[in-house]
Amino acid sequence: MNRIIDDLLIVLLLCVIALFVVFMILPLVVAVTMAFDGRNYMGAFPPTDFSLQWVHKFFGDEFYMKGVRTSFLIAFFTMIISTGVGLAAAVALADRDFPGKDLLAALFLSPLVIPAVVIGFALLLFFSQIGVFDGFIRLLAGHVLITIPYAIRVSLAGLVAIPKSTREAALVLGANEWKAFWTITLPLAKTNVFAAAIFAFIFSMDDVAVSLFLSSVDAYTLPVAMVGMMRSAFDLSVAAGAVFLMVVMTTIMLAADILFGIGKVLTRR
């Protein structure tokens, strides 16, 4: 009897897992396929013929392209600022203990716990009250805030892994703190610093919630443009945009892994 229950459960389990795998992969397949739909209306899946019309429409539409440009610019500046500021915080936190260190570390990571919508709403109201209406500045500020916790965490993990004796050896041999940082600490932590930078870039490109609040008519990111299109037009150019976003992010991550080996940061414990 128990054998039968065992066997039945195993079969049931395998079915559930097979269904799960299909559930995970199917939507992405559908989205990519629909982006190359040859029909000029939103027909049912699967498409009967294929064309690049939606891709052309996406790249030819100034509304999207403006979003693409803003997204890249914001992600780039967010990456620079977050990595720099995050590394500074991580260096301070990686050093010896000091009073209030745990509290400070918790505070630096707190944007992770706060719902993105609350961050977006609070920043929007604050900027409106102090008179900052420039969409680009607002977006950059919001993206820096939400990426800094990741930058600090990833940099800190790299810095903590460096044996203290290495830096102390440099100090004993006459290097000053500044020189020891640039010649010893930073080169040893560089994989994590690169990873922090890439994460900041990717999370900035990915954000929807905070950006929806902080965008303005002439400064909006690609995801914001796509949400706008999803609501106003039933049009598969959004699918083309989704494929574009997927390709860009995957390329960046693969390139970063090949060039800097940041995959190690994810798998190493």
Partner 1 sequence: MTAEVLEENAPASRLNAGRILLLTPPAIVLLLLLIIPILNILDQSFRTFQAGRVGAVAGGGRTLQNYLELLDSAYFYYFVETFRISFIGTVISVVLAFPIAYLITRLRSQFLRGVVAGGLIGIISVSTLVRVYALLLTFGAVGFGRPLSSLLGVTMSSSEYTEFMVLLGLVYFHTPISVLILIGSIQAINPRLIEAAQSLGAPRWKSHLSVTIPLALPGIGAAFVISFAVCVSAFVIPLILGAGRVQFVSNLIYSRFSVVSNYPSGSAISIVLLITAVLLVIILPWIFSKIFAKSPIFARVQK
Contact set for partner 1, span 33-72 (CB under 8 A): 34, 42-45
Q: How far apart are CB 196 and partner 1 at their closest, in Å?
A: 13
Binding to partner 1, residues 206-265 (CB under 8 A): 206, 208-209, 212-213, 223, 226-227, 230, 238-239, 242, 245-246, 249, 253
C-alpha–C-alpha distance, residues 266 and 269, integer Å: 8
Sign of the torsion angle spanned by Cα atoms 129, 130, 131, 137: negative
Interior angle at CA 210, CA 157 and CA 154, nearest 5: 5
> CA 101: distance to chain centroid?
27
Binding to partner 1, residues 106-135 (CB under 8 A): 107-108, 110-111, 113-119, 121-126, 128-129
C-alpha–C-alpha distance, residues 7 and 141, integer Å: 56
For partner 1, the closer of residues 141 and 188 by Cβ is: 141
Q: Nearest CA to 226 among 35, 44, 79? A: 35
Q: Binding pattern to partner 1, positions 131-160, x when CB under 8 A?
A: ----------xx-xx--x---x--------
C-alpha–C-alpha distance, residues 132 and 244, integer Å: 31
Q: Does 202 bind partner 1 (CB under 8 A)?
A: yes
For partner 1, the closer of residues 191 and 238 by Cβ is: 238
Pick the binder of partner 1 from 27, 38, 60, 261 (CB under 8 A).
Answer: 27
Q: How far apart are CB 156 and partner 1 at their closest, in Å?
A: 12
Pick the binder of partner 1 from 171, 255, 258, 259 (CB under 8 A).
Answer: 171
Residue type, 84: G
Q: How far apart are CB 61 and partner 1 at their closest, in Å?
A: 17
For partner 1, the closer of residues 5 and 217 by Cβ is: 5
For partner 1, the closer of residues 65 and 109 by Cβ is: 109
C-alpha–C-alpha distance, residues 117 and 120, integer Å: 5
Pick the binder of partner 1 from 57, 61, 66, 85 (CB under 8 A).
Answer: 85
For partner 1, the closer of residues 6 and 134 by Cβ is: 6
Q: What is the DSSP letter of 131?
A: T
C-alpha–C-alpha distance, residues 184 and 192, integer Å: 14
> CA 231: distance to chain centroid?
24
Neighbouring CB atoms inside 10 A of 262's CB total 22
Q: How far apart are CB 23 and partner 1 at their closest, in Å?
A: 7
Pick the binder of partner 1 from 2, 49, 97, 103 (CB under 8 A).
Answer: 2
Q: Nearest CA to 147 among 95, 212, 100, 80? A: 80
Q: How far apart are CB 168 and partner 1 at their closest, in Å?
A: 5
